[in-house]
């Protein structure tokens, strides 16, 4: 089992596309799941922190890792350095920060950026240097782990910044901060903002743009699987041509999340077909139980295989940092996504199964659905009752009989021709309008 876990752990593939700080939640999760030895994870954490300013945290981890009380010399030095730098940045940004802290002064800011800059310069002697210092300060704050502060400053910075490049990078910073603060709604807004900029902006090279999209999708994973509406959003985002292409070329592992979203999300069923084609194309470059499950059901019609894959999927979901989010419910925790996934997957199998069968033995069906006979019967009766399924149960022979769904010829004919008259009317009115318009002219 561990083998599967390790094989399907995407951390190594996901992490390079994330900010250092964003990797922490994943590492926390992995630590919790105990997929890897603790030590390894802790070492990795320290390494991660080395480049950030969260020196204290690094020291703590170091201590717990080596069970010592002394922090290594370089860490101590670095800490001093960080503090000093924080001081200098604080000073540099001080005028603007004080200005921003003054609510009445902030009131004076208007929507016109040019005016604001002018005004700041004239009345508060705040020039571009100070604004730049604000950005640096915010960045430093973020590095130190003070996400909320960073988010605030970055927001302010954006209103004053005139450099597009900087503005985008500030936006990324804001997005990261919001994600780390778990403000999913705001984060989602930021995400859309970044997305708009990426799509509209002309990048130096297409490759660059693709890279940006991939970052965006990776960062978005946090939001999508935590936000209420995330599962629809993820499909909306990922399933766009541009993004799908980016996935195909550079990050096929993201297919797992998209596939999961598709299975879980009932409303996006129509797009599923397209997605399945993508799966077929990509199956040589990426293998994943969840993706394979879809392939089994919709490409190979291999229901037994799907059954097996379902079990694997469960494992994968539980061990995935994004999918396997736990909800503490009383004294035992569940993974809500897993249950949802299983339910939907089962429905998938059953639907497809029903579509190609005329008569199904209840026993077999129950087995396929991982239910016992009575449960299966109840399940099916429910389906029939909610008119999701056009079928009858024949309890004498213990079978489900599908109603033939041959469309009536007359109905078809009517359907075909019905629209015609409407279209003609429409055409005529258009024509008339047009000619009238011309006459009037």
Partner 1 sequence: MATIASMLASTRNPFSCFREPLYPGSRSVVSPRYLEPFGKRIRTIPRFIRACQPLDKVGGDGGVSASAKRYHFGNELLSFASDNFLPLALVTGVSLGFANPTLGCLADKYSLSKFSTCGIFIISGLTLRTEAIGDAVKGWPLGVFGLASILLLTPSFSRLVMLFQLQHQELVTGLGIFCCMPTTLSSGVALTHLAGGNSALALAVTVASNLLGILTIPFWVSRYIAGGVGVSFPTDQLFKSLIVTLLVPLIIGKVIRETFKGFANFVDNNRKLFSRMNAICLSLVPWIQVSRSRSLLLSVEPKVFLAAIGIGILLHLSLLAFNALSIRILSGLSGDYNSKNSKGNGTAVLLVASQKTLPVMVAVVEQLRGAFGEPGLLVLPCVAAHLNQIMIDSILVNVWLRKSNASSADGGSDSEDESDIEEEIQEVQNTDINNRYLQDGSDDDDDTDTKRVIKPTKDKRFEEMTHTVEQMKNAMKINDWVSLQENFDKVNKQLEKVMRITEAVKPPTLYIKTLVMLEDFLNEALANKEAKKKMSPSNSKALNAMRQKLKKNNKTYEDAINKYRETPEVEEEKEPEDEDDDDEEDEDEFEDDDDSKEAVTDDDVDEPADNRWETMLNKKDKQMEKLLSKDPKEITWEWVNQKFKEIMAARGRKGTARFDLVDQLTHLTKIAKTPAQKLEILFSVISAQFDVNPGLTGHMPIKVWKKCVLNMLTILDILVKYNNIVVDDTIEPDENETSKPADYDGTIRVWGNLVAFIERIDTEFFKSLQSIDPHTREYVERLRDEPMFLALAQNIQDYFERMGDYKAAAKVALRRVESIYYKPQEVYEAMRKLAELDEEDEEAEDAEEESGPISSFIVVPEVVPRKPTFPESGRAMMDLLVSLIYRNGDERTKARAMLCDIYHHALMDNFGTARDLLLMSHLQDNIQHMDISTQILFNRTMAQIGLCAFRVGMITESHSCLSELYSGQRVRELLAQGVSQSRYHEKTPEQERLERRRQMPYHMHINLELLEAVHLIGAMLLEVPNMAANSLEARRRVISKNFRRLLEISERQAFNAPPENVRDHVMAATRALTKGDFQTAFEVLNSLDVWRMLKNRDSILEMVKARIKEEALRTYLFTYSSSYESLSLEQLAKMFDVTEAQVHSIVSKMMINEELHASWDQPTRCIVFHEVQHSRLQSLAFQLTEKLSVLAESNERAMEARTGGGGLDLSSRRRDNNQDYAGAAGKWQDNNMNYGQGRQGNNRSGYGGRPGQPRDWSGQNRGGGYAARAGSGNRGGGMQMDGSTRMVSLNRGVRA
Shorter beta-carbon distance to partner 1: residue 69 or 304: 304
87 vs 269 by CB, closer to partner 1: 269
357 lies in the site for partner 1, by CB under 8 A: yes
- For residues 190 and 196, what is the distance between their CA atoms, to the nearest angstrom? 10
Cα-based angle 143, 206, 252 (whole degrees, multiple of 5): 75
Residue 393 in the binding site for partner 1 (CB under 8 A):
no
| Residue with Cβ nearer partner 1 (31 or 271) | 271
CA 384 to chain centre: 34
Which residues in 31-70 contact partner 1 (CB under 8 A)? none
Q: Minimal distance in Å, beta carbon 314 to partner 1?
A: 23
Reduced to 3 states (helix: H, G, I; strand: E, B; else coil), residue 126 is: coil
Closer CB to partner 1, residue 103 or residue 407? 407
The residue with tokens 């799908």 is 244
Q: Which residues contact 42 (CB under 8 A, 6 or more apart)?
A: 61, 64, 65
Site for partner 1 in 90-119 (CB under 8 A): none
Give the separation between CA 378 and CA 76, rounded to whole angstroms. Answer: 66
Q: Which of residues 260-289 bind partner 1 (CB under 8 A)?
A: 266-267, 269-274, 277-278, 280-281, 284-285
Rounded to whole angstroms, the Cα distance separating 283 from 363 reads 33
Contact (Cβ atoms closer than 8 angstroms) between residue 316 and residue 288: yes
Closest approach of partner 1 to the CB of residue 255, in Å: 13
Residue 8: CB partners within 8 Å, gap ≥ 6? 288, 289, 315, 316, 319, 320
Pairwise CA distance, residues 441 & 436, whole Å = 8
The single residue among 146, 167, 177, 399 that binds partner 1, judged by CB under 8 A, is 399
Nearest CA to 222 out of 263, 177, 163, 253 is that of: 177
Contact string 370-389 vs partner 1 (x = CB under 8 A): ----------------xxxx
Interacting residues with partner 1 between 317 and 356 (CB under 8 A) = 351-352, 354-356
With vertex at residue 145, the alpha carbon angle to CA 142 and CA 150, rounded to the nearest 5 degrees, is 35
Minimum separation from the CB atom of position 271 to partner 1 (A) = 7
Interface with partner 1 by CB under 8 A: which residues? 206, 210, 241-242, 244-245, 248-249, 266-267, 269-274, 277-278, 280-281, 284-285, 299-302, 304, 351-352, 354-361, 364, 386-389, 397, 399, 402, 404-407, 409, 412-413, 415-420, 422-424, 426-427, 430-431, 434
């Amino acid at each position: 089992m561990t083998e599967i876990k390790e094989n399907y752990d995407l951390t190594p593939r996901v992490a390079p596309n994330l900010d250092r700080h964003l990797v922490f939640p994943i590492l926390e999760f992995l630590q919790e799941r105990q997929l890897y030895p603790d030590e390894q994870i802790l070492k990795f954490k320290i390494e991660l922190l080395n480049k950030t300013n969260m020196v204290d945290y690094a020291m703590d981890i170091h201590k717990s890792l080596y069970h010592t009380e002394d922090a290594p010399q370089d860490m101590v030095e670095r800490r001093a350095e960080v503090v000093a730098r924080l001081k200098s940045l604080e000073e540099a940004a001080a005028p603007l920060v004080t200005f921003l802290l003054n609510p009445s002064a902030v009131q004076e800011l208007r929507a016109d950026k040019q005016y604001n800059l002018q005004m700041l310069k004239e009345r508060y002697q705040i020039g571009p240097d100070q604004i730049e210092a604000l950005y640096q300060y915010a960045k430093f704050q973020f590095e130190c782990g003070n996400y909320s502060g960073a988010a605030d400053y970055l927001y302010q910075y954006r209103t004053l910044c005139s450099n597009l490049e900087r503005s985008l990078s500030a936006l990324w910073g804001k997005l990261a901060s919001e994600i780390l603060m778990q403000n999913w709604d705001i984060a989602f807004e930021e995400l859309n903002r970044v997305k708009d900029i990426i799509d509209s902006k002309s990048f130096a090279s297409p490759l660059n743009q693709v890279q940006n999209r991939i970052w965006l999708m990776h960062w978005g994973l946090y939001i999508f699987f935590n936000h209420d509406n995330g599962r629809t959003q993820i499909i909306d985002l990922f399933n766009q041509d541009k993004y799908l292409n980016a996935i195909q070329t550079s990050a096929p592992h993201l297919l797992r999340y998209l596939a999961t979203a598709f299975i879980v999300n009932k409303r996006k069923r129509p797009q599923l077909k397209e997605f399945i084609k993508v799966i077929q194309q990509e199956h040589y470059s990426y293998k994943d139980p969840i993706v394979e499950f879809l392939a089994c059901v919709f490409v190979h019609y291999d229901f037994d295989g799907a059954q097996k894959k379902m079990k694997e999927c469960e494992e994968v979901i539980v061990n995935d940092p994004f999918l396997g989010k736990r909800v503490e419910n009383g004294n035992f925790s569940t993974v809500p996504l897993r249950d949802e996934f299983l339910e939907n997957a089962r429905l998938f199998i059953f639907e497809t199964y029903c579509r190609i069968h005329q008569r199904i033995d209840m026993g077999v069906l129950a087995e396929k659905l991982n239910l016992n006979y009575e449960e299966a019967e109840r399940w099916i009766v429910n389906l029939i009752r909610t008119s999701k399924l056009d079928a009858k149960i024949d309890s004498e022979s213990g079978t489900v009989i599908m109603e033939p769904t041959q469309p009536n010829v007359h109905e078809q004919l009517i359907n075909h021709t019905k629209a015609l008259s409407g279209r003609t009317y429409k055409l005529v009115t258009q024509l008339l309008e047009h000619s009238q318009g011309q006459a009037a002219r």
